[in-house]
Structure 1
């Protein structure tokens, strides 16, 4: 896995090993960021929230493309170590913060903060995508023109949009479903 574009382009990222691990493939990340680029003026000065961060690849890609800062949340010790290692390797430790905590329990602590981009990649078939999306809407963490990117298994039903949010698009890439959400019109 590598950073696709920006200041850290080409940097290899540390990742997990094991059969149950499924980092977002480079081609899916590239497609997601192409779709984001067509909807955003730029990534400059974006505040990013990377939930179920894993290796931190999505947030680091956004930082590489100009995002101002990123908060990575994951409850795993291995994930925390890997995100820290990847931020240091890409020389982004000053713009990335890591919160090692349960995503569901930690969102309430972020009340009052606003994020331009929120990435969410919960464990597949866990039922967490819809639950966390609802929490994001209730906590009002999405900036006015912000986007939430949700990754799930394509065999799962599409994520239901909670009140105040609407689905902008849904795309499938092999086993992966990507959905974009934003504020209702």
Structure 2
């Protein structure tokens, strides 16, 4: 896994061995950032269920002002910290080694995010729990874009009830990215 573009372009990132994390492939990461890169510069980015930190690091490399990494696995967090230091992006990063819901409660009132990316373990409805919290949270404002990486069969029919709407979905062979924003926003992405 490597950084695709920006200040840390082509640098290899460390990942955990085994199946504890599922790093987003370079190809999928490149497709994702091709869709959002015009808007990343100077943004504040939240990377939930961070794994090895590849998505948040890519955002920082492409000009995000700040990124917060949330990962409860201490071994994975050490990997994130090593990757941040190696890419020289650690000064623009905040790391939280804790459960995602605990981290969200602690961030409340401290920050508002332009992008919230989450890649939770598949088929456990963790994204639904996080979205339910975010629907009433000050971490999200009308321009926040929430991106969920999920299995192809994960459904999001509940979004409207939470006050969200799906902007678009990008499907790959084994998973998909779902782009979400608050209901009532006029622009797209």
| Farther-moved stretch of structure 1 (41-50 vs 92-101) | 41-50
Aligned partner of residue 90 in structure 2, secondary structure: coil
Tell me what 1:72 maps to.
69
2:124 matches 1:138: no
TM-score with structure 1 length normalisation?
0.93
Q: Map 1:9-158; keep pairs closer than 5 Å.
A: 9-19=9-19, 21-37=21-37, 41-112=38-109, 113-158=111-156
User: 1:172 offset after TM fit, Å?
Assistant: 1.0
Give the unaligned 5+ runs of structure 2: 185-189
CA 1:159–1:105 in structure 2 vs 1: closer, same or farther (change >3 Å)? farther
1 CA distance for matches of 2:121 and 2:4? 24
CA RMSD of aligned residues (A): 1.4
Give the unaligned 5+ runs of structure 1: none
TM-score with structure 2 length normalisation?
0.91
* Structure 2 contact 56–67 (Cα < 8 Å) conserved: yes
Tell me what 1:182 maps to.
181
2 CA distance for matches of 1:108 and 1:5? 32
2 CA distance for matches of 1:73 and 1:19? 18
2 CA distance for matches of 1:42 and 1:36? 6
* Structure 2 contact 123–151 (Cα < 8 Å) conserved: yes
User: 1:35 offset after TM fit, Å?
Assistant: 1.2
* Structure 1 contact 129–159 (Cα < 8 Å) conserved: no
User: 1:183 offset after TM fit, Å?
Assistant: 1.5
Aligned partner of residue 162 in structure 2, secondary structure: coil
